[in-house]
């Protein structure tokens, strides 16, 4: 959860949702590991008794509690051997043991403190065993009425391990079933969450459909298809406390729909920051991402020379990841001084300046469960150029001049040619029809991106999950019609 620890969008979502749920008045508690990068602060309080975590063999951990600004409670699980390093996910290592411990700690925290929530909301494979405990070891205890909601932020990472993991987890071996948590003879923590959760959500409606297909299901499309009736996609919102061009304290100038003069100042600062030619008339195209195949920026690297040759544009890249791609962009910056800028690394402040100063934002993702940067871009009047996949399709409206519609430029095929043509299209509109760019910008900035709408949908999902859970247990038997969710429109 940002700002405690962040790898990608999941951290932003958990933080935003925490704030909104506390605002609705719910007693909300977040439990996450205390990673090596997190140091105790004066507001942290160490719980007097250590937490007994009933994995096999049992172990103890220290638990820190701290009030979140919103009124929620943060809980940090300290276990140096498991979480003492800086990284959230340890590269080239089996991380499953670390997160089995987290899953069990959630259950044991409830027992030890006597706090039994109505719903436990789990995120990605790292929390996939929590719904399994609720359906197995907890059936005779006070937690058995707790419903679970499992949110998939990314299907690619699944938390796979040998069947011995079940023994460590203190779970019965009969769960090792292909119609349950076993996949290709291994324990699969993502599948465990999908199979056992009361309700499943994905971070966009379109991704909920895509993951049921072989192309996007990463081998678990059937498991998801089997849970179709209990699955819903909810598009992420934007945390406007952090991403609002009118108040963003990291920018050299603020701006809004009514007065875009600050955006021009940000563009100039961006051009200066990357030693680009300072010229307001040249469009700046930007990309910020983890440089891995998912994000499709290899397609941009492939056409970079062509773009530089054919179009009068500038390009700025911020990211890190695949060394070959890092090198490709660094080389491009050297080959095209004044026209291509590149920063390899993670820099949150710089990402704000890029979103504010750029004119277009490039996201040619091969898959994108939701994607946040296209939404930040639109809020900052920077027009997204996206591939039609996952949440990119749900959030970016295609430019259609005759209908006076659109908040960006979309293309369907994950190919360098399709990306090249779409950048060319946007560049032609920039130079030939600046009034159209202004209108696109207005529409993009007007888009309602706040979390309020999505958070209300999550609250509905919690109610839906509680209703289903209690009915399943025979506790709710009345003739009331079961809780149903309203249809979720794309935004």
Binding residues for ligand ADP, rule: CB under 6 A, are 8-9, 12, 288-290, 318-320, 346-348, 351, 370-373
User: Which residues, in sequence order, are CB contacts of 206 under 8 Å at separation 6+?
Assistant: 233, 389, 390, 391, 393, 394, 490
Given the complex with ligand ADP, which of 152 and 289 has the nearer CB atom? Answer: 289
Cβ neighbours of 33 (radius 10 Å): 23
Kindly tell me which of 170 and 384 has the beta carbon lying closer to ligand ADP: 384
| DSSP string covering 272-312 | HHTT----TTSPEEEEEEEESGGGTHHHHHHHHHHHHHH--
Q: Are 263 and 381 in contact (CB under 8 A)?
A: yes
Whether the Cβ atoms of residue 227 and residue 191 lie closer than 8 Å to each other: no
Rounded to the nearest whole angstrom, what is the least distance from the CB of residue 317 to ligand ADP in the complex?
9
Select 218 or 346, whichever has its Cβ closest to ligand ADP.
346
For 373-426, the DSSP string reads: HHHHHHHTT-EEEEES-HHHHHH-PBPBGGGTB-SBEEE-S-SHHHHHHHHHHH
- In whole angstroms, give the CA distance from residue 185 to residue 196: 18
Q: Which is nearer to ligand ADP, 110 or 372 (CB)?
A: 372
Nearest to ligand ADP of 139, 324 (CB atom): 324
Minimum Å gap between C-beta 2 and ligand ADP is 8
Q: Which lies closer to ligand ADP via its Cβ, residue 16 or residue 132?
A: 16
**Could you tell me if 396 and 386 are in contact, meaning their C-beta atoms sit under 8 angstroms apart?**
yes
The CB-of-8 to ligand ADP minimum distance in angstroms stands at 3
Shortest distance, position 371 Cβ to ligand ADP, whole Å: 5
Minimum Å gap between C-beta 99 and ligand ADP is: 18
State the minimum distance, in angstroms, from the CB of residue 348 to ligand ADP.
5
Q: What are phi and psi of 55, to 5 degrees?
A: -85, -175
Taking the complex as a whole, the smallest distance from the CB of residue 261 to ligand ADP amounts, in Å, to: 25
Choose between 10 and 120: whose C-beta lies nearer to ligand ADP.
10
Q: Which is nearer to ligand ADP, 135 or 154 (CB)?
A: 154
Looking at the Cβ atoms of 311 and 344, the one nearer to ligand ADP is: 344
R_g of the chain computed on alpha carbons: 23
Distance in angstroms (rounded) separating the CA atoms of residues 309 and 424: 12
Q: Beta strands 73-78 and 59-67: pairing type?
A: antiparallel
Q: Which residues contact 375 (CB under 8 A, 6 or more apart)?
A: 236, 237, 238, 395, 449
């Amino acid at each position: 959860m940002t700002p405690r620890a962040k790898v990608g969008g999941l951290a932003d979502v958990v933080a935003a949702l925490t704030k909104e749920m506390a605002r609705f008045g719910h007693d909300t508690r977040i439990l996450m590991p205390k990673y090596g990068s997190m140091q105790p602060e004066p507001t942290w309080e160490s719980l007097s008794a250590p937490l007994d975590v009933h994995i096999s063999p049992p172990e103890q951990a220290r638990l820190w509690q701290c009030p979140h600004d919103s009124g929620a409670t943060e809980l940090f699980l300290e276990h140096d051997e498991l979480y003492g390093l800086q990284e959230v996910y340890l590269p080239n290592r089996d991380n499953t043991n670390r997160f089995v411990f987290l899953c069990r700690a959630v259950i044991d925290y409830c027992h030890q403190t006597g706090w039994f929530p109505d719903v436990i909301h789990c995120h990605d494979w790292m929390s996939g065993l929590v719904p399994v405990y609720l359906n197995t070891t907890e059936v005779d205890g006070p937690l058995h009425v707790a419903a679970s909601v499992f949110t998939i932020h990314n299907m690619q990472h699944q938390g796979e391990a040998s069947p011995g993991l079940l023994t460590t987890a203190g779970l019965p071996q009969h769960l090792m079933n292909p119609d349950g948590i076993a996949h290709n003879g291994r324990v699969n923590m993502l599948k465990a969450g999908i199979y056992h959760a009361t309700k499943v959500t994905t971070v966009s409606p379109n991704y909920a459909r895509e993951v049921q297909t072989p192309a996007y299901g990463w081998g678990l499309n059937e498991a998801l298809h089997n849970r179709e009736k209990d699955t819903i996609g909810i598009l992420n919102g934007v945390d406007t406390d952090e991403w609002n061009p009118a108040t963003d304290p990291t920018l050299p100038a603020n701006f809004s729909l009514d007065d875009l003069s600050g955006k021009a100042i940000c563009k100039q600062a961006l051009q200066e920051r990357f030693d680009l030619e300072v010229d307001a008339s040249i469009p700046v195209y930007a990309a910020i991402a983890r440089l891995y195949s998912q994000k499709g920026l290899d397609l941009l690297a492939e056409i970079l020379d062509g773009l530089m040759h054919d179009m009068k544009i500038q390009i700025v890249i911020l990211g890190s990841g695949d060394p070959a791609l890092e090198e490709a962009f660094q080389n491009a910056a050297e080959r095209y001084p004044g026209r291509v800028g590149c920063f390899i690394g993670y820099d949150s402040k710089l990402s704000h300046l890029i979103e504010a100063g750029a004119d277009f934002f490039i996201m040619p993702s091969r898959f994108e469960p939701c994607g946040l940067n296209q939404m930040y871009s639109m809020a900052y009047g920077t027009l997204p150029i996206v591939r039609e996949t996952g949440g990119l399709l749900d959030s970016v409206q295609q430019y259609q001049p005759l209908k006076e519609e659109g908040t960006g430029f979309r293309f369907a095929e994950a190919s360098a040619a399709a990306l090249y043509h779409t950048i060319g299209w946007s560049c032609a509109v920039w130079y030939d029809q600046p009034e159209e760019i202004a209108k696109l910008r207005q529409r993009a900035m007007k888009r309602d991106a706040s979390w309020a709408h999505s958070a209300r949908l999550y609250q509905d999902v919690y109610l839906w999950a509680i209703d289903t859970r209690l009915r399943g247990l025979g506790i709710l038997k009345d003739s009331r019609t079961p809780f149903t969710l309203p249809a979720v429109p794309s935004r």
